[in-house]
Amino acid sequence: MTALAQQIVSGLAAGGIYASLALALVLIYSAMGLVNFAQGEFAMFSTFIAWALIVALHLPYALAFVGAVLFGFGAGIVLERAVVRPFEKSSPLILVIVTLALFSIANGLAGAIWGYVPKPFPSPFPVTPISLGGVLVSLQDMAVIGITLVVLGLISLFLTRTRLGLALRAAALYPESASLMGVRVGWMLALGWGLASAVGAVSGILVAPIIFLEPNMMQGTIIYAFAAAVLGGIDSPLGAVVGGLSLGVALNLIGAYIPQLADVRLGVALLLLVLVLVLRPAGLLGRPEVSRV
Amino acid sequence: MARTGPGLRIAIGVLVAVVAVGLPFQASGFQSLELAYALTFAIAILGLNLLIGYSGQISLGHGAFLAVGGYVTAIGQQRYGLNYLVTIPLAGIISGLIGFLVGLPALRLHGIYLALATFALAVAAPSVMKKPADLTGGVKGIILPPYTSLVPGLSDDQYFYFLCLLITVILFLVSYNILRKRPGRAFKAVRDGELAAAAFGINVSTYKTLAFAISAIYGGVAGSLYATATGFVSPDSYPFQLSILLLVGAVLGGIATIEGAIFGGLFTEFLPIFSQQALTPISRQLANAAPAVTQGIVLLIVMFVARQGIAGLLRQGYAALRGRLRTDAQTLKPAGESPPTGIR
């Protein structure tokens, strides 16, 4: 029983990281119906900024964290305004191509500036485990889960309890009516991108101490985040977190109890993604898509 | 009919043929091999273009079909002692069957969701290839016997280039004919409006899965040639970046054009090499990052200013040239080349 609880807790910790990146994907999807393939690379880039602030400028971890999140926020807004804006109304193919282009550029730029050698990333949370009723939990893992939940809470508060959040949702759902009501729809989309990149930066900083910092570091995580977002419902922030945590737990349990599948966990996650897309595209908590023909 | 039209067309055709046949005699063996790689990519991109450009289904997972083709070739040669000339069509057939199977669930997916699902295919392919280790050689992969020239007077690399050229020409003619006839019109009708196409009696499901199957055949053949050229298959030969690279090539060359696939293939092969070489004297680190950055920037440029890619630009140039020749010759009203449909 303790062993099972142990696996679930470690699964939650891994799931917290998938969840935070999935949350970033959901934010952009809800704002403009676009899956941002470059989300992981933005997160990686912001994480490098945090690393540079810590190592080069000797800033404390907390300040570097805030700095990287702010950088992510600003970069998201600038990229939406400068690069994505002309394609807002284009077909999915064009949007996919544009985000793939951003993927390549972010990845290459990080490689050009900081190189491809993996770097250790500091974490203020000790990894030494503490025992909670027989289950060993490291402060590091608890911080990952805690920060993910805090981020989800802040995002939901922002979306449901502030005027700006209301405007953001209105712009996403009914752009024309919203603009008649005085909402600046274009800037709301940019704000969505900024928020998503900021949340992505958090996930990058959380995962970096575990998997080391290098330009390709998020390419594994982003795939789990895709699966998590689709599982939870790609337009539901709560769904993203539920999807991420349950994916983390499920994969950990598979790894522990079905050793034959342990090394194809990625395949399991992707199979899940395809099955959900085909059988229940709205996911666990999403709204089913209705279209007029 | 315009008097100058066919003449210009023939002149361009002869020029292309002379360049394609003459190149390997001017180039070194290694450069011939690079050109063979470019043709291989062109075949894969043409298949991808049939799917994306003509049937309107996004695939970010075409590298998986190349992987199937490569592994069929390697296993066929190593285990069953088949000649590589046999494994090339075999790779196409098996990959096509798998493409048909992939096309079935894809029927239920549209746009961004299909992009995600096919992306999953591309990411999963290497780890799936790893799993049956006694068949696929696991992580180590399989080494293929080298190809040798069957034509006296041609070096091994020149021979392989001409083999790729022959297959490329055949597959381009096949797709030209598919697209000009009933299936091509059906693909375009489905792409531009499924409901309308169905109302005109087109079986939408059949043509969408057919597009997947044909496109996978092209991917399989390309994968077979790719594996033969490399002399080696392993899970690492088919990272998901390969699928992205193919999509980039298709977009650069020109979506929904046949000739665009050639430019796409050339770019896919040479853009990384040239950008890396250009920056190597400055710094190794910069040079390693150069292919990704140039690829991204070129993609954005194409999206911003030339959405029909290189083929679109050339068609515009061709139409302008032909219009000028025609006014000189005082012929009847210009028929004009049909503008590329591109992507919207």
Q: Give yes or no for a contact between A251 and A228, defined as CB atoms under 8 angstroms apart.
A: no
Instruction: Return mean pLDDT, chain B.
Output: 85
Q: What ipTM does this complex have? A: 0.85
Q: Does the distance separating the beta carbons of B113 and A270 come in below 8 Å?
A: no
The Cα of A269 is separated from the nearest Cα of chain B by a number of Å equal to 9
CA distance A136 to A127: 11
The residue with greater pLDDT, B119 or B22, is: B119
Tens of pLDDT, residue by residue over B261-306, are 999 999 888 888 888 888 888 887 888 888 888 889 988 998 888 8
Looking at residues B186-197, what average pLDDT do you find?
88
Give the pLDDT confidence score for residue B90 in this predicted structure.
Answer: 94
A230/B116 CB distance under 8 A: yes
pLDDT tens digits for range B43-90? 999 999 999 988 888 889 899 999 999 999 999 988 888 888 889 999
Q: Does A256 touch chain B (CB under 8 A)?
A: no
pLDDT score, position B332: 47
**Tokens 């997972």 correspond to what residue?**
B61
- The pTM of this model reads 0.87
pLDDT over 70, % of chain A: 98
In angstroms, rounded to a whole number, what is the distance separating the alpha carbons of residues B118 and B63?
Answer: 10
Beta carbons within 8 Å of B330's beta carbon, 6+ residues apart: none
Closest residue, chain A, to B308 (C-alpha): A94
Tens of pLDDT along A149-167? 999 899 889 988 999 988 9
pLDDT at B123 over 50: yes
Q: What whole-number distance in Å separates Cα of residue A174 and Cα of residue B123? A: 35
pLDDT confidence tier of residue A276, bands split at 50, 70 and 90: confident
Closest CA in chain A for residue B193? A293
Query: Mind listing the pLDDT tens digit for each residue in A227-274?
Result: 999 898 888 888 889 999 999 999 888 888 887 777 777 778 888 888
The pLDDT value recorded for residue B2 is 44
For residue range A156-198, list pLDDT tens digits in order: 899 889 999 889 888 888 888 988 998 888 899 899 999 999 9
Q: How far is A281 from chain B (nearest CA, A)?
A: 8
In sequence order, the 6+-apart residues with CB closer than 8 A to the CB of B201 are none
Residue B39 pLDDT greater than 90, yes or no: yes
How much is the pLDDT for B333?
Answer: 47
Residues B289 and B232 sit within 8 Å (Cβ to Cβ): no
Nearest to A264 among B121, B127, B343 (CB): B127
For A279, how many CA atoms within 13 A lie in the half-sphere containing its CB?
A: 8
| pLDDT given for residue B171 in this prediction | 93
d(CA B217, CA B103): 13
- Tens of pLDDT, residue by residue over B97-121, are 999 998 888 888 878 888 888 888 8
Residues B196-253: tens digit of each pLDDT: 888 888 888 899 999 999 999 999 999 999 999 888 888 888 888 889 889 989 999 8
Residue of B nearest to A224 (CA): B120
CB-based burial of residue A187 (10 Å sphere; 0-12 exposed, 13-18 middle, 19+ buried)?
A: middle
CB contact under 8 A, A101 and B111: no
Which residues 150-209 of A have a C-beta within 8 angstroms of B?
A: none
